[in-house]
């Protein structure tokens, strides 16, 4: 049974919350971004207004990430700086939430180091934020509440989306994979899927509001539906979504190579709205390291999967995540990764230096790689990835592509910006075009991170 946010809100006894501006800073992945859209949605529901100006806010929220150490350090740095704001404005309410709070001992560490923080909550009880806020406001207490286990899925939380054209739709929460470097299964709990009707209804609602593109989110979308009573899996869900009238484009992330199957690849091939883009994190090209990472596939398996995808979906763009410097990674292991990057020719890649995370198996492994080696490999990896990206972008010169317009370009106001079906960023010149339009653009020049074109 899902938790109904509307019922929850009734029980929160929230009346007359006053008028306030709030500021949200989000760290980390798309999941966190979507969570922040929900925090923002709840605050707007109780009558508050969003601001992008920190100094203007009566409520400041940090939605944190703990996947790598540098994400945590940023939060610590920014929380320290808020001391001055709080001195100037003692009524300022500071809330810290998200993945970092789910780590053992972290909430207490933060309250000790930053006593000016008023509210701390975790990933599983974010829907209770209005109640916590009310308690701080009316009783003047400090609130620290973290559920150490996942709850049922919460439906009906209002979402204040960042874009009017494209939207995130979460289809499942949590992860069961326990890759040995990763904290996500510990801070996000076990896999839970939303009912397909709830997902479809959300998408229909988005169509009604004029949205053209949706990105389905989940840590491991390929295991969607496994624990649901209904007869559904990810490929079936994709085909069902493809039937919704009015939506133009559907993307999804993230796929695990061990679980991405032919049914999903064929769904992309056969359904007109499913975009030709797959985010397929490989993490490493060395079988030895993949095994130590608990990834359940080999380099050869991954390359065969890539071949099959490219054969079935010729225009596909492939993106990935790669970690360098995992414990025990030798120069030979790293060369296997470089070789794989070269052979796949990614359209883009998120590259990471391995970061030790408390209580994960990899943190306990011997042979941690020295920092200097990690950085040296990282620089070479970025170069290899970029060479591939430039090669894959060059192919577009002279071609005509369909672009979903997102608005004026941030860097160059004379141009519009949008993406191709397979996710390439295009900046282009055109008249009488608005956000949400689909236009055909001729690519005149390929740049490393974008394509330049004209209508
Ligand atoms: N160190 C470095 N990168 C990590 N990732 C997850 N955990 C770590 C870690 N401890 C990366 C993986 C994952 C992406 C979201 O973050 O590549 O796919
Ligand atoms: Fe982390 Fe692995 Fe789950 Fe991805 S699949 S969230 S890397 S444990």
The 10s digit of each residue's pLDDT in 23-63 is 999 999 999 999 999 999 999 999 999 999 999 999 999 99
Helix (H) or strand (E) holding 143: strand 143-145
Q: What is the pLDDT of residues 287-341, one digit of tens each?
A: 999 999 999 999 999 999 999 999 999 999 999 999 999 999 999 999 999 999 9
Architecture of domain 163-275: 2-Layer Sandwich (3.30)
Structure tokens at 110: 């933060």
Q: β-strands 277-279, 192-193: how paired?
A: unpaired
Ligand 1 atom with the smallest distance to the CA of 283 is 17
| Alpha-carbon distances, residue 316 vs 150, 251, 307, 327 (angstroms) | 36, 12, 11, 33
Q: How far apart are CA 336 and CA 341, in angstroms?
A: 9
Residue 383, H or E segment: helix 371-394
Domain 2-145 of CATH type 3.40.50.12160 = yes
For the segment 431-442, what is each residue's pLDDT rounded down to a tens digit? 899 999 999 999
Which class in CATH covers the domain with range 400-454? mainly beta
- Name which residue sits closest to atom 12 of ligand 1, judged by CA: 321
In this structure, the residue with its CA closest to atom 2 of ligand 2 is: 179
Helices 299-312 and 331-344 sit at what angle, rounded to 10 degrees? Answer: 10
352 lines ligand 1 (CB under 6 A): yes
Q: Does the Cβ of 378 fall within 6 Å of ligand 1?
A: no
H or E stretch covering 400: strand 400-408
Asked if residue 255 has its Cβ within 6 Å of ligand 2, the reply is no
DSSP 283: B
Neighbours of 173 (CB within 10 A): 22
Q: Is residue 360 a contact partner of residue 178, using CB atoms and an 8 Å limit?
A: no
Residues 396/450, Cβ–Cβ less than 8 Å = no
CATH of domain 276-394: 3.30.750.200
Lookup: tokens for 134: 């009310």
Dihedral sign for Cα atoms in the order 59, 63, 68, 71: negative
Segment 199-238, tens digit of pLDDT: 999 999 999 999 999 999 999 999 999 999 999 999 999 9
C-beta of 282 in contact with ligand 2 (< 6 A): no
Q: How does residue 16 score in pLDDT terms, banded at 50, 70 and 90?
A: confident
Alpha-carbon span 422 to 402, nearest angstrom: 10
Q: Where are the domains of the chain?
A: 2-145, 163-275, 276-394, 400-454
Give distance in angstroms: CA of 431 to centre of ligand 1.
42
Q: Which among 185, 257, 357 is the best mutation to test ligand 2's pocket, defined by most ligand atoms within 8 Å of the CB?
A: 185
Residues 6+ apart with CB under 8 A from 29: 65, 67
Q: How far is the CA of 345 from the centre of ligand 2 (A)?
A: 23
C-alpha 67 – ligand 2 centre gap (Å): 10
189: left (phi over 0), alpha (psi -120 to 50) or beta: left
Distance in angstroms (rounded) separating the CA atoms of residues 355 and 147: 26
pLDDT higher than 90, residue 17: no
163-275 matches 400-454 in fold? no
Spatial distance between the Cα atoms of 148 and 455, rounded to a whole number of angstroms: 53
Q: At what angle do helices 234-242 and 196-208 cross, to 10 degrees?
A: 30
- For the annotated binding site, the residues are 29, 65, 99, 175, 179, 182
Q: Is the CB of 283 under 6 A from ligand 1?
A: yes
Picking from 167, 234, 227, the residue whose alpha carbon sits closest to that of residue 203 is 167
By DSSP bridging, strand 438-446 and strand 400-408 are antiparallel
Per-residue pLDDT of 154-192, as tens digits, reads 999 999 999 999 999 999 999 999 999 999 999 999 999
Closest ligand to the CA of 173? 2
Q: Is the pLDDT of residue 451 over 90?
A: yes
- Looking at residue 106, its pLDDT comes to 96
pLDDT attached to residue 120: 98
Chain mean pLDDT for the chain:
95
What confidence tens digit (pLDDT) does each residue in 409-420 have?
988 888 999 999
Average pLDDT over residues 122-128: 96
> Which residues is 328 bridged to in the sheet?
none
Can you tell me the distance from the alpha carbon of 228 to that of 196, in angstroms, rounded to the nearest whole number? Answer: 9
Q: Compute, in angstroms, the gap from residue 281 CA to the centroid of ligand 2.
A: 10
The CA angle 44-45-48, to the nearest 5 degrees, is: 35
Is the alpha carbon torsion for 319, 306, 345, 453 positive or negative?
Answer: negative
Tokens of 390: 């430039």
**The predicted structure's pLDDT at residue 339:** 98
Distances (CA, A) of 138 to 15, 16, 132, 145, 290: 11, 11, 10, 17, 52
Contacts of residue 92, Cβ cutoff 8 Å, sequence gap at least 6: 57, 58, 59, 60, 82, 85, 86
Per-residue pLDDT reduced to its tens digit, 56-110? 999 999 999 999 999 999 999 999 999 999 999 999 999 999 999 999 999 999 9
CA distance 217 to 28: 14
Give pTM, 2 decimals.
0.95
Q: Ligand 1 within 6 A of 255 CB?
A: no
């Amino acid at each position: 049974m899902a938790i109904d946010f509307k019922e929850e809100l009734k029980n929160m006894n929230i009346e007359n919350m006053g008028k306030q501006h709030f500021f949200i800073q989000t760290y980390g992945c798309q999941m966190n971004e979507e969570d922040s859209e929900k925090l923002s949605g709840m605050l707007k529901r109780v009558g508050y207004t969003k601001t992008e100006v920190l100094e203007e806010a009566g409520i400041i929220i940090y939605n944190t990430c703990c996947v790598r150490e540098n994400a945590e350090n940023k939060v610590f740095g920014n929380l320290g700086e808020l001391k001055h704001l709080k001195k100037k404005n003692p009524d300022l309410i500071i809330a810290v939430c998200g993945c970092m709070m789910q780590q053992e001992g972290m909430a207490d560490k933060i309250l000790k180091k930053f006593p000016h923080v008023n509210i701390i909550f975790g990933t599983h009880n974010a829907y209770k934020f209005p109640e916590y806020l009310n308690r701080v406001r009316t009783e003047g207490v400090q609130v620290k509440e973290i559920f150490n286990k996942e709850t049922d899925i919460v439906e009906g939380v209002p979402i204040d989306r960042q874009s009017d054209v494209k939207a995130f739709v979460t289809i499942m929460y949590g992860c069961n994979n326990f890759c040995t470097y990763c904290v996500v299964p510990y801070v996000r709990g076990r896999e839970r899927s939303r009912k397909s009707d709830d997902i479809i209804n959300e998408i229909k609602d988005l169509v009604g509001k004029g949205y053209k593109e949706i990105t389905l989110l989940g840590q491991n979308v390929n295991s969607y539906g496994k624990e649901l009573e209904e007869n559904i899996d990810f490929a079936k869900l994709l085909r069902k979504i493809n039937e919704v009238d009015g939506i133009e484009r559907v993307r999804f992330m993230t796929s695990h190579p061990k679980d991405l199957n032919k049914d999903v690849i064929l769904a992309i091939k056969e359904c007109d709205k499913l975009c030709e883009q797959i985010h397929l994190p490989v993490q490493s090209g060395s079988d030895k390291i993949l095994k130590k990472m608990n990834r359940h596939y080999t380099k050869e398996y991954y390359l065969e999967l890539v071949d099959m995808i490219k054969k079935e979906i010729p225009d596909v763009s492939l993106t990935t995540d790669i970690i360098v410097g995992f414990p025990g990674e030798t120069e030979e292991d790293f060369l296997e990764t470089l070789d794989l990057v070269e052979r796949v020719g990614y359209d883009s890649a998120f590259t990471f230096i391995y970061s030790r995370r408390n209580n994960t198996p990899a943190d306990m492994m011997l042979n941690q790689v020295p920092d200097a080696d990690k950085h040296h490999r990282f620089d070479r990896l970025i170069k290899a990835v970029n060479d591939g990206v430039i090669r894959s972008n060059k192919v577009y010169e002279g071609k005509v592509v369909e672009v979903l317009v997102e608005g004026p370009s941030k860097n160059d106001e004379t141009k519009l910006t949008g993406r191709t079906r397979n996710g390439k960023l295009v900046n282009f010149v055109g008249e009488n075009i608005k956000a949400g339009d689909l236009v055909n653009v001729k690519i005149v020049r390929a740049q490393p991170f974008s394509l330049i074109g004209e209508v």
